[in-house]
Amino acid sequence: MIFDDDMETLPREELEVLQLRRLKGLVDRVYANVPFYRKSFDDAGIRPSDIQSLADVRYLPFTEKQDLRNHYPYGLFAVPKDNVVRIHASSGTTGKATVVGYTKRDVENWATLMARSLVAAGATKRDIIHVAYGYGLFTGGLGAHYGAERLGATTIPMSGGSTKRQVILLRDFGATVICCTPSYSLFLYETALESGIDIKELPLRIGVFGAEPWTEEMRRDIETKLGIKAIDIYGLSEIMGPGVGIECIEAQAGAHLQEDHFLLEIIDPVTKEPLPPGETGELVITTLCKEAQPLIRYRTRDITSLNFTPCRCGRTFARMHRVMGRSDDMLIIRGVNVFPSQIESILLETQGLTPHYQLLVKREGNLDTLEVQVEVDEKIFSDEIKNLQRLGGKIQKHIKEFLGVTAAVKLVEPRSIQRSEGKAKRIVDMRNSS
């Protein structure tokens, strides 16, 4: 099933005509209404009329998270404040929050894109959708909520937290679709088992999981444990929220990005030059339809690649490879670049380990060092010390072989790593505390 059949299957030539028309309108709008963009265009010697093809987007200046912070809270709005009906914000661990505004039409468009996403994930109006993303300034809860209602499904606004109660209501209300972070789905699974509930036995059939990086190995683990299809959903608050892209249930091979609303580029994060199709780099997004706070060439920091080959679901929108990680989260351990997701893949391929882990980054002298802490399952935990040591050594060897880094491996007891109700905290940075 496809929600917006006309749009989601548009032949690429027609899609590009539409994108160019929207891009031209966008540059006119931001030049006229956003002093920040007028200045940055002027500084780069660009006039809106210079944009004559989609490829010309590369002449436009980038927008970075810091630009949003510098114009905190409302400095990048392109419409009068009276026209803004909703504000979201992402807290960020450092510095000021990044604020995002929406007009009425922006909220409607977002609901449509989320409805499209839910349908791509395999949901229909007959589903009962349990939304366990946090409600509030975070875009996850309300984003999924409006999409589910737009689809006409029964929507349960659960939000995050109260995990025991969530499990009971998941069972009692008979949810068939759940929206939450992939790590939270595993926390729900464990909590359910403790209450004597096996999620596999419930009517739940689809999980719409995103907001944090996760791996194919994690998908397999979730699908087996919960007995559902686990679908990857991508989004970021600066651009809209969840629903910027979603995998289709037919292929489960990369998130289709909603290209009628977003113009995509992959750039080399160091040289900032656009990369050819298929290459891995940083995803850069230009919002083609946003009214309240359109962004030109927003640097997402997410590392991925785009696949333009046809998909068996019939959608023509490009597919984004699973996000490997954020360039900000890349660790450099003795000169070797590592993403937490690469470690996750290795851990989950090892028998006896659970999908609960943390990476402790410390500094010794001038060098960063890595300690991988991972929970073992009950059976292994009660095993003899020497078997545990052997397992630790095996993981260390695999990490060295596959990633080229030396990591200390600490096997910890079941349920000792703190569970998260939203985005999992995988990296513990101890560099400034030691």
Of 16-24, 150-158, 196-204, 205-213, the segment contacting ligand DLL by CB under 6 A is 205-213
Q: Could you say whether residue 282 binds ligand DLL (CB under 6 A)?
A: no
- Which pair of structure tokens corresponds to residue 269? 């994060």
Reference 28, options 45, 49, 46, 44; nearest CA is 49
Backbone dihedral angles phi then psi of residue 351, each to the nearest 5 degrees: -60, 140
Q: Could you say whether residue 207 binds ligand DLL (CB under 6 A)?
A: no
Reference 290, options 138, 107, 36; nearest CA is 107
Number of CB atoms found within 10 A of residue 224's CB:
11
Task: State the minimum distance, in angstroms, from the CB of residue 262 to ligand DLL.
Answer: 13
Instruction: Name the 3-class secondary structure at 274.
Output: strand
The residues pairing with 282 across neighbouring beta strands, listed in sequence order, are 267, 303
Instruction: Determine which residue in the list 212, 259, 291, 344 makes contact with ligand DLL, applying CB under 6 A.
Output: 212
Q: How far apart are CA 182 and CA 232, in angstroms?
A: 9
Q: Could you say whether residue 241 binds ligand DLL (CB under 6 A)?
A: yes
Of 106-114, 120-128, 208-216, 258-266, the segment contacting ligand DLL by CB under 6 A is 208-216
Tell me the site size for ligand DLL, rule CB under 6 A: 20
Of 41-49, 104-112, 237-245, 409-417, the segment contacting ligand DLL by CB under 6 A is 237-245
Nearest to ligand DLL of 97, 380 (CB atom): 97
Q: How far apart are CA 238 and CA 235, in angstroms?
A: 9
Q: Could you say whether residue 160 binds ligand DLL (CB under 6 A)?
A: no
Q: Could you say whether residue 213 binds ligand DLL (CB under 6 A)?
A: yes
Reference 2, options 121, 105, 109; nearest CA is 121
Q: Is the peptide bond before 80 cis (omega within 30 degrees of 0)?
A: no
Instruction: Determine which residue in the list 48, 101, 242, 355 makes contact with ligand DLL, applying CB under 6 A.
Output: 242
Tokens 């596959």 -> residue: 402
Chain-centroid distance of CA 196 in Å reads 32
Instruction: Determine which residue in the list 3, 77, 102, 133 makes contact with ligand DLL, applying CB under 6 A.
Output: 133
Q: Is 39 exposed, middle or buried (0-12, 13-18, 19+ CB in 10 A)?
A: exposed
Instruction: Determine which residue in the list 3, 234, 298, 357 makes contact with ligand DLL, applying CB under 6 A.
Output: 234
Nearest to ligand DLL of 27, 178 (CB atom): 178
Nearest to ligand DLL of 29, 326 (CB atom): 326
Instruction: Determine which residue in the list 147, 160, 207, 235 makes contact with ligand DLL, applying CB under 6 A.
Output: 235
Q: Could you say whether residue 139 binds ligand DLL (CB under 6 A)?
A: yes
Q: Could you say whether residue 122 binds ligand DLL (CB under 6 A)?
A: no
Q: Could you say whether residue 206 binds ligand DLL (CB under 6 A)?
A: no
Instruction: Determine which residue in the list 90, 154, 373, 420 makes contact with ligand DLL, applying CB under 6 A.
Output: 90
Task: State the minimum distance, in angstroms, from the CB of residue 322 to ligand DLL.
Answer: 7
Task: State the minimum distance, in angstroms, from the CB of residue 224 to ligand DLL.
Answer: 20
Q: Could you say whether residue 40 binds ligand DLL (CB under 6 A)?
A: no
Tokens 């010697």 -> residue: 45
Answer yes or no: are the C-beta atoms of 388 and 349 closer than 8 Å.
no
Number of CB atoms found within 10 A of residue 237's CB:
21
Task: State the minimum distance, in angstroms, from the CB of residue 219 to ligand DLL.
Answer: 11
3-state secondary structure string, 164-201?
A: HHHHHHHHHCCCCEEEECHHHHHHHHHHHHHCCCCHHH
Q: Could you say whether residue 210 binds ligand DLL (CB under 6 A)?
A: yes
Q: Could you say whether residue 254 binds ligand DLL (CB under 6 A)?
A: no
- Which pair of structure tokens corresponds to residue 376? 């073992």
Q: Could you say whether residue 281 binds ligand DLL (CB under 6 A)?
A: no
Nearest to ligand DLL of 137, 417 (CB atom): 137
User: Which parts of 297-336 interact with ligand DLL (CB under 6 A)?
Assistant: 300, 302, 323, 326
State the pairing for strand pair 298-304/281-287: antiparallel
Q: Could you say whether residue 262 binds ligand DLL (CB under 6 A)?
A: no
Number of CB atoms found within 10 A of residue 319's CB:
22
Answer yes or no: are the C-beta atoms of 322 and 305 closer than 8 Å.
no
Residues that bind ligand DLL (CB under 6 A): 90, 133, 139-140, 210-213, 232-237, 241-242, 300, 302, 323, 326
